[in-house]
Structures are given as structure tokens and as C-alpha cells.
């Protein structure tokens, strides 16, 4: 089977990764919506523990059904363990930041993740970061800052949590790209990440436990399903795109949130919000263009022959 005319394999990988990233933002927003009521009535560690245990149970069930190598096998156990711990810390940090900060103030920290991811990709994976990439990342960060013209006044504990969550999350996603190069299945990365979330939540569970109704447990199961899907998609995405590119394109989820706020809740959206969202989308497109390979010697036009003297 031949590929689409004019598209090389790196270009197809970039386009596929971008499409999966946009799909992943929709899944992630749905997961957040399904967890909205839970977060308001139950502590973050309790949700992390129960959701993590449910996900681990699903993984162990698949393993018992003959999928053990896919679920439990890894060629890099040390890196998988580190990535899982970082992911759990990032999840907890964003929960705590959301608890202590207004919702809007959390997004500048999320906007820092691509910048951190780019630096960590160069440091950990030895990926080359060109000038066009840095300019695109700066464009995206500017877009996020425009969304909040009043800025952040003063440093509080929530800001520390947000910064730590961004750093841990960026490192986790960058490590996932490195792990994927060693033939560790995507489901294994998701399984161990959820195991780390469950263990971290269980440490605090005795201090925050609050009984849950059957309705809340059902909503938790729905949330867990969406969460597993979005984490699996992210592992697949970073096999196709550098981590900082995926994280930058993922900022388009703010557009979905603005749209949902307007269509479902009648929230007024200022011009600065649309301008910021436009810059975020533009930076994602710019990053994709930066991934286009230079013409190879085979496809470059041949030089005209030099006449013999």
C-alpha cells in the first residue's frame, strides 16, 4: 500500500500525532467534566486511591486473561517507576493547586509544561531544539498569558504546587517518549502510572476518607475509564511526536473549555480570551511545521551537468 502523495513518513507521523492529541484533549475535558462533582465533595487523595485501584484491577484482570506481557512487561523498569512516580506527584500537585487557586490561575502553570518539556527533551533525550521550535513555544506561552491579563498577584502555596506539578508532569511525558523507544507497551506505562497514583492516594486515605454513594462510585468508574483512555492516548502520541510538541498542541483544550462555557453555561468570553486561544492554536500549527523534514538528497532536484571543456 502506498502512502498519500507528497507526504513522507515523518509528516504522516506528525499529522497522526496531532489528530490523536486533539482527540485526547476532548477525552480529557470529558474526564474533567465527569469528575467535577466528585472533586467538590471528596478529597483528591481519596479519588486518586479509588480510581487508581479500579484501574489496577482492570489491568490485573487483563493480565490474568493472558495479556500479562502487554500489561506488566517493561524493558526499562527503573524509568517506568520514575515516570509513574512523577505522574502521580503531578496529578496530586494539580489537585492541590486547583484547591488553593482560582481556576484561571492554574492554566499559566499548564502553559509552562511545553517549555519545560522542550528543555527536558534536550537534556534527557538529546533531541535537537531549533530556533523555530523555541519561537513557537514562546508564541503559545504568550497566548496563555494573554488569557489572564491581570496576572498572578503574590506567591502562595498553590503557586508552588502548580509549578511543581508542571515540572513533574513535563518530566513524566518526556520520560514516556524515551521509554517507548525500548518496546515497553503503552498499556504497561498506563498500568504502572495508575498503580503509583493508587499507592500515593492510599498513604493519605485514612486521614481524608469520606463515604461515597453508589452514584458517586459509578461516576468514579466513568471518570476512571476516560482517564485510562487519555493516558493511553498520550503514550501513543509521544511515540509519534516530541513530548513538547504534543504538550503544546494539547493546549487547544482551552478552546473546548471556552466553547463549552459559552454554549452550555452562557459565560461571556472577552476578546483577549479569543486572541490567546488563537495564539495557542497557531503555535501548535507552527510546531508541526517545524517537524517537517528537509528535502532529502534523493528528492532534491539534480544540479545541471557541467559542460566538458
Contacts of 215 (CB under 8 A, 6+ apart): none
Query: What is the pLDDT averaged over residues 174-182?
Result: 74
The pLDDT, as a whole number, for residue 183 is 60
216 class by beta-carbon count within 10 Å (0-12 exposed, 13-18 middle, 19+ buried): middle
300 class by beta-carbon count within 10 Å (0-12 exposed, 13-18 middle, 19+ buried): exposed
If one compares 245 and 20, the residue with the highest pLDDT of the two is: 20
Residue 79: closest CA among 202, 161, 176: 176
Model confidence pLDDT, tens digit, residues 106-160: 666 776 776 777 777 777 767 676 777 777 777 777 776 776 666 655 567 777 8
Model confidence pLDDT, tens digit, residues 119-134: 777 777 676 767 777 7
Tell whether the model's pLDDT for residue 3 goes beyond 50: no
The pLDDT, as a whole number, for residue 149 is 64
- At residue 296 the predicted structure's pLDDT band, cuts being 50, 70 and 90, is very low
Euclidean distance between CA atoms 176 and 171, whole angstroms = 9
If one compares 253 and 52, the residue with the highest pLDDT of the two is: 52
**Candidate ranges 26-35, 78-87, 241-250, 251-260; pick with highest mean pLDDT:** 78-87
Is the four-CA dihedral 230, 81, 251, 268 of positive or negative sign? positive
User: Which three cell numbers mark 206?
Assistant: 485514612
- At residue 24 the predicted structure's pLDDT band, cuts being 50, 70 and 90, is confident
Least reliable range by pLDDT among 34-48, 185-199, 220-234, 243-257: 243-257
The pLDDT, as a whole number, for residue 270 is 67
- At residue 191 the predicted structure's pLDDT band, cuts being 50, 70 and 90, is confident
The pLDDT, as a whole number, for residue 86 is 92
Where b means 16+ CB within 10 Å and e means fewer, 47-79 reads bbbbbbbbbbebbeebbeeeeeeebbebebeeb
Sequence spans of domains, the chain:
9-290
Q: Find where cell 507521523 sits.
A: 13
Model confidence pLDDT, tens digit, residues 236-258: 887 787 766 777 777 777 777 66
Q: What is the DSSP string of 204-218?
A: HHHHH-----HHHHH
102 class by beta-carbon count within 10 Å (0-12 exposed, 13-18 middle, 19+ buried): exposed
Euclidean distance between CA atoms 262 and 225, whole angstroms = 27
Task: Output the average pLDDT for the chain.
Answer: 75
Query: What is the pLDDT averaged over residues 56-74?
Result: 80
Q: Find where cell 528543555 sits.
A: 119
Contacts of 294 (CB under 8 A, 6+ apart): none
Amino acid at each position: 500500500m502506498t502512502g498519500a502523495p507528497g507526504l513522507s513518513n515523518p509528516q504522516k507521523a506528525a499529522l497522526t500525532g496531532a489528530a490523536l492529541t486533539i482527540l485526547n484533549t476532548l477525552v480529557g475535558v470529558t474526564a474533567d467534566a465527569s469528575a467535577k462533582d466528585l472533586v467538590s465533595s471528596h478529597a483528591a487523595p481519596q479519588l486518586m486511591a479509588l480510581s487508581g485501584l479500579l484501574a489496577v484491577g482492570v489491568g490485573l484482570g487483563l493480565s490474568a486473561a493472558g495479556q500479562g506481557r502487554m500489561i506488566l512487561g517493561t524493558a526499562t523498569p527503573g524509568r517506568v517507576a520514575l515516570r509513574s512516580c512523577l505522574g502521580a506527584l503531578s496529578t496530586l500537585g494539580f489537585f492541590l493547586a486547583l484547591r488553593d487557586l482560582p481556576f484561571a490561575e492554574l492554566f499559566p502553570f499548564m502553559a509552562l509544561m511545553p517549555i519545560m518539556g522542550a528543555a527536558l527533551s534536550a537534556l534527557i533525550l538529546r533531541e535537537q531544539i531549533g530556533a523555530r521550535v523555541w519561537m513557537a513555544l514562546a508564541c503559545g506561552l504568550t497566548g496563555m498569558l494573554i488569557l489572564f491579563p491581570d496576572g498572578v498577584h503574590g506567591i502562595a502555596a498553590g503557586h508552588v504546587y502548580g509549578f511543581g506539578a508542571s515540572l513533574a508532569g513535563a518530566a513524566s511525558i518526556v520520560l514516556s517518549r524515551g521509554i517507548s523507544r525500548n518496546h515497553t507497551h503503552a498499556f504497561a506505562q498506563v498500568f504502572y502510572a495508575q498503580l503509583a497514583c493508587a499507592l500515593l492516594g492510599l498513604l493519605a486515605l485514612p486521614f481524608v476518607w469520606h463515604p461515597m454513594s453508589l452514584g458517586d462510585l459509578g461516576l468514579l468508574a466513568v471518570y476512571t475509564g476516560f482517564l485510562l483512555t487519555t493516558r493511553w492516548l498520550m503514550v501513543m502520541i509521544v511515540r509519534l511526536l516530541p513530548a513538547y510538541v504534543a504538550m503544546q498542541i494539547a493546549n487547544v483544550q482551552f478552546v473546548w473549555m471556552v466553547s463549552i462555557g459559552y454554549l452550555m453555561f452562557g459565560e461571556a468570553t472577552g476578546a483577549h480570551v479569543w486572541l490567546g486561544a488563537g495564539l495557542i492554536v497557531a503555535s501548535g500549527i507552527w510546531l508541526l511545521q517545524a517537524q517537517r523534514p528537509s528535502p532529502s538528497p534523493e528528492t532534491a532536484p539534480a544540479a545541471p551537468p557541467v559542460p566538458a571543456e
